[in-house]
Structure formats: C-alpha cells, structure tokens
Amino acid sequence: MVSDATLQNIIPSDVLRKICLDESVDDVGFVEIERKALSSVKDEVLALYPKTRTIISICIRTNPENVQGLSRSLANEEFHKTYDELSIHARKIVRRLNEIGIRAVSCHPTFPMDTDRWAGKIWEISHKPIAEQAEIGRMGINRMVLHPKFGTHILLDSILIDSELDQYGKPLDYDPCVSCHLCVAACPVGAINAKKGLDFNACMTHNYRDFMGGFEDWVENIVYSKNVKEFRKKSGDDENVSKWQSLSFGPQYKAAYCVSVCPAGKDLIGIYENDSRSWVKQIVKPLKDKKEPVYVGKNTRAEEHARKNKNKQVKIVKNVQHPKTVNGFLSGSRVSFEPKHARRVNLTVHFQFNGEETTKATIKIANEMIDVKNEHVGKADLAIVTDSETWIKMANKETSFVSNLLSMLSGKVKIQGKLRLLKQFQNCFVGQ
C-alpha cells in the first residue's frame, strides 16, 4: 500500500535510512536545505545541484587502532581506503534512490578538488556543518565531527536529493567531547587551542606539507635552487620521496594525532575511562616522543611550540599561497593568519572591492583570532576601497613599494584610517 506521505511527494525518512544502511554506511542523517543553520553552505549546495531539497549525511567509521599507532603509512592507508569505500557506497545509494524516483548527486569528500579556486576554498561542499545539523555528531575542539558511538573515527559524505522528507534530524543535545584535551597535548605544532580554536596555518603547514601550499613551496625550492647541493639543503631525500609517494599513491598526511588520541564515542570511551593512564602511555606518549620532522613557518607560534619538544626535528618552510581572486584572498587569509603576529591586535577592517570582482568584506582580528565575513560588519578601524585586480597583485607581492604607493596616490587603493593600522594588519599574516 502506498502511504499518504508518498502520495504527497514527501518521502518517509525511514525508507531512505534503510536504503543507506543496506548499502553499508555506518550512520545516516537528514537535513532540509532551508534550515537557517545551513545558510553558510546553502549556495554551494545549490550550485552543485539546484534541485536540492534535502541533504543526506552519511559516514563510515575508520579502524581506530590503525590510526592510533606510530605508523603514518598504516594511518594514511586507512584514511584513503575508507574514503574510497565511502565514495563507492554513496554512488550505490544514488542508484538505489534513482530506482524509486528520487534524483540525487553524491558529493565526493576528498580529492580531486577544484584547484582553479586555490588559494580559496577548493572543496565543493562543507560536510561538517551538514553532519552536525543532520544529527551525525558534534564538532569537537579538534575541529572533527565527533560521532556518539564512533567518536572522531569517521569520514563524511553528503548526498543531495530533490525530495522532501517527513522527518529530519536535529543537532545533538549533548557533546561527545570529554574535555580530556589530549588532542591539544598531542599536536606537534600546537595547532589546537580549547579557547581560541584551530590555528589553520600551523595545521596546514605541517600536516598538509605534501598538499597544495606545501607542494608549491617544494616546487619553488626546486626552481630557485642554483644546483642539486643547494636543493638538498632545502629539501632532503626523505621529503622528496614523500612527495613522490603522495603523487603516486595519494596525499600523505604528516600527522592526524588529534584523531589518534581522541577517546570520544561509546566504542572507545569505556576503554579510556577504565584506564586513562594506559591510554596516555600507549597512545599519546609514543606520538609525542616520536622522532620526526615537523614543518613550521618561521617566527610562528607553531615554531615556538615545536622547539619545546626535543624529539621533533623542526624544519622551517613556507605554506605558499597566490590567490587569484578576491574570494581566494578572503578564504586564504584564514589559513595565512598567524596568531603570534596578532598578539595585542584588535582591529576591524572593511573592504570594498571594485573592478572585475565587486564585493564587500570584513576581516576582524582580536584575541589572536580572525573572523572573515562577506559583508560589512561592525565599526571599521580601517576601511580599504580598492580595485580588486590591484589588491590581488599587492597581496601576492607582485608589485613594488613604489607601485603600491602610486596605486594609493592614483585612487586605485583608498585607505580610510591610519596607515600604521594597514601595516599592523599585514603583519598578522605569514609572508607579509
């Protein structure tokens, strides 16, 4: 018998849940596209599939022990194979949905990504806020979605469908995070702060050394080296082989210790609570004591942190970014922001971009944190009205001091506020 809900083109959520679980995902949740809390991702979702009415959030668990050990090879293989498995299951779910008249798009959670948007947001869709709203889990201080059962040991995907459901999920009313702060203790670059959030620059520079900005830095080291001897000083054989391995078998994460040490979720919390000392001794301490290279930017908070651990070989590198668009500049500013350089800075900057890209934006720096909004928010200490093309060249340091001065005199860049605040603002970013 066809239900009344189906006759009204409202799909029973339990039907979709069974389809997803039958295709071997470990958990599934649903959220409507019109939910106010998803306003930040609504546009990107509709750009991928304009008919979207509902988003299905799915997850597959990783094997914790493969990620908890010292071997980066085992951990990376676990991540890559689970991502592959997740993509296969998502595609099968789409086919099952098509069979019952639901049109759908699966959104792959990892590479390949749209590199034309680098150094902006190159991934197609933000799975984490969707998962939170769909009742999959809740964001921990390690910036991972913590599942009630599987904790941090999950990978996420999203499926966009053209149908409405009779029932949707809602955010968890409790936090799976147990406030153990082991992720804070284990991070080799001190990227996690319980009060100030994630230091994106520190995390990207080390953990993603074989990705994006780190890879660009490696290439530039090759180009600018006068000979092999000079290049080997900049990049040792181990790093060169690591790049080859990442190109051949998938990007290799340098550390996922924030995942490794986390005891959240019913699967693991009992083990931790029964003997927290053994957990620290067997999982946390070996990672902290591991002798390994740690990649940090020069004169950064990450460098200060890494040098305190005698077991880590500190390597000074760059996380290269060359934004091509205003969106790339704004998104990239979150990554290139350096908390150490922003100490005692309290500054709100309004941007008005003209030219090929016309938009308004606000960058606020306070308490060693950065907030970026695509509109004017609050009272500005510094206002910059600029030709977008000119500003991008300045941000990429493609122009000289004299050229920048001429741009200001000619009106291509107008500064309202004290010029010392512009210098203060620039100093808050790595490479400025």
Is residue 114 a part of any domain in this protein?
yes
Residue 199's domain comprises 182-316
Q: What distances in angstroms separate CA 247 from CA 215, 242, 243, 361, one per listed residue?
A: 10, 9, 6, 36
State how many domains the chain has.
Answer: 3
Residue 53 sits in a domain whose CATH number is 3.40.109
Q: Are residues 146 and 17 in the same domain?
A: yes
Q: How many CA atoms lie within 13 A of 63 on its CB side?
A: 12
β strands within 12-140, DSSP E? 27-32, 54-61, 104-107, 138-139
- Give Cβ neighbours of residue 308 (< 8 Å, ≥ 6 apart): none
DSSP 82-118: HHHHHHHHHHHHHHHHHHTT--EEEE-SSSS--GGGT
- Give Cβ neighbours of residue 123 (< 8 Å, ≥ 6 apart): 113, 114
Domain stops at, among 297, 316, 335: 316
Is residue 134 a part of any domain in this protein?
yes
Question: What is the three-class DSSP state of 35?
Answer: coil
Angle separating helix axes 212-224 and 237-249, nearest 10 degrees = 130
- Structure token pair of residue 168: 């949707």
Which pLDDT score is estimated for 115?
81
Per-residue pLDDT of the chain (432 residues; tens, 9 = 90+): 334 444 357 999 999 999 999 999 999 999 999 999 999 899 999 999 999 999 999 999 999 999 999 999 999 999 999 999 999 999 999 999 999 999 999 998 888 888 888 777 888 999 999 999 999 999 999 999 999 999 999 999 999 999 999 999 999 999 999 999 999 999 999 999 988 889 999 999 999 999 989 999 999 999 999 999 999 999 989 999 999 999 999 889 999 999 999 999 999 999 999 999 999 999 999 999 999 999 999 999 999 999 999 999 999 999 888 888 898 899 889 888 999 999 999 999 999 999 888 999 999 999 999 999 999 999 999 999 998 888 988 888 887 766 766 677 677 889 999 989 998 998 998 854
Residue 356 sits in a domain whose CATH number is 3.30.1050.10
- In angstroms, the CA 30 to CA 16 distance is 9
Q: Are residues 194 and 70 in the same domain?
A: no
Model-level pTM? 0.90
Which pLDDT score is estimated for 412?
82
Which pLDDT score is estimated for 402?
64
Q: Are residues 263 and 209 in the same domain?
A: yes
Q: Are residues 225 and 305 in the same domain?
A: yes
Domain stops at, among 316, 334, 368: 316
Q: Are residues 331 and 404 in the same domain?
A: yes
- In angstroms, the CA 220 to CA 328 distance is 20
